[in-house]
A and B are shown apart, each in its own frame.
Chain A
Amino acid sequence: IVLTQSPGTLSLSPGERVTLSCRASQSVVSNYLAWYQQKPGLAPRLLIYGASDRATGLPDRFSGSGSGTDFTLTISRLEPEDFAVYYCQQYGTSPYTFGQGTTLEIK
C-alpha cells in the first residue's frame, strides 16, 4: 500500500490551524493508520493510532480522522513545539508502509 502525504511542506505561524493529508493506494485494513511526529535527531513519536485514537498524553489539539483510503491529521492551534516532520503509516497489511512525510516549518 502506497501512502501519499500532502503537502510536502507547510509554512505556518504559531496559533494557526493545520490539516495534513494522507491518501492510501488501497483501503487500509481496520483503519490501522497511525500518525507520527519526528524532530531532528530524535526517534518518531506516536501521535494517533486507529486513524483517530490519541496516544497516551497527547494534547487534545491533535486529532485524526478518516477511513478507507483518506485520512487527515489536524492540529487546532499550532504551538512552537509542533514544528516538525509528520508521517502517516499503515500497519494493517505487510509491508507496513510510511508516507513520505510532511514538514511543518515556522513562517
Chain B
Amino acid sequence: EVQLVESGGGLVKPGGSLRLSCAASGFIFSRSTMNWVRQAPGKGLEWVSSITASSFDTNSADSVKGRFVISRDNARNSLYLQMNSLRTEDTAVYYCARMAAVGGLRAGFDIWGQGTLVAVSS
C-alpha cells in the first residue's frame, strides 16, 4: 500500500525545537522529490519546504527559512523536518507529500500523509 505516515508532533514552548518524521512505503522513495506542507487551524494550505530525491536541492518558504531544515534518509525511506526557534504562528498540522512525476514532468502532490499536529504555546 502506498502511504506516508508522519510522527513527532506535539506541544512545544515558543523558542523550542521539534523534529518531524515521515515514513514512506509502497513506492520508490529514493526517486521522489518530497515536501512538507502545513495548515494552521481553520486556515488554508501553506507549502513549507521541499527536497529533491538525492538531497541535492532544498527549498523553503521565507516564513521558515533559517529556522527549519528539511532532510531525508533514502536508506530508511524517511523524510524529516527539524524545526527550531518555534513561534506561535508555526502552530499547524504538518503534512508530508510526494511530488509526482509523469513522463519526466512534475505532476502535483499526489501522495499525502495524515498529518501531525504541532502546537506552539507557553
Residues of A within 8 A of B (CB): 30, 32, 34, 36, 38, 43-46, 48-50, 53, 55, 87, 89, 91-92, 94-101
Given contacts A43-B95, A43-B115, A94-B59, contact A89 B108 (CB under 8 A): yes
Contact among A43, A95, A101 for B113, CB-based, below 8 A: A43
Spot the interface stretch: B17-25, B43-51, B75-83. B43-51
Whether the Cβ atoms of B114 and A30 lie closer than 8 Å is: no
Whether the Cβ atoms of A94 and B50 lie closer than 8 Å is: yes
Residue of B45, B46, B47, B100 contacting most chain A CB atoms (<10 Å): B45
Tally of chain B residues near chain A (CB < 8 A): 25
Contact among B62, B108, B113, B114 for A91, CB-based, below 8 A: B108
Contact among A34, A43, A97, A99 for B108, CB-based, below 8 A: A34
Q: Is B99 an interface residue (CB 8 A)?
A: yes
Contact among A32, A38, A97, A99 for B106, CB-based, below 8 A: A32
Whether the Cβ atoms of B50 and A49 lie closer than 8 Å is: no
B74-101, CB < 8 A from A: 95, 99-100
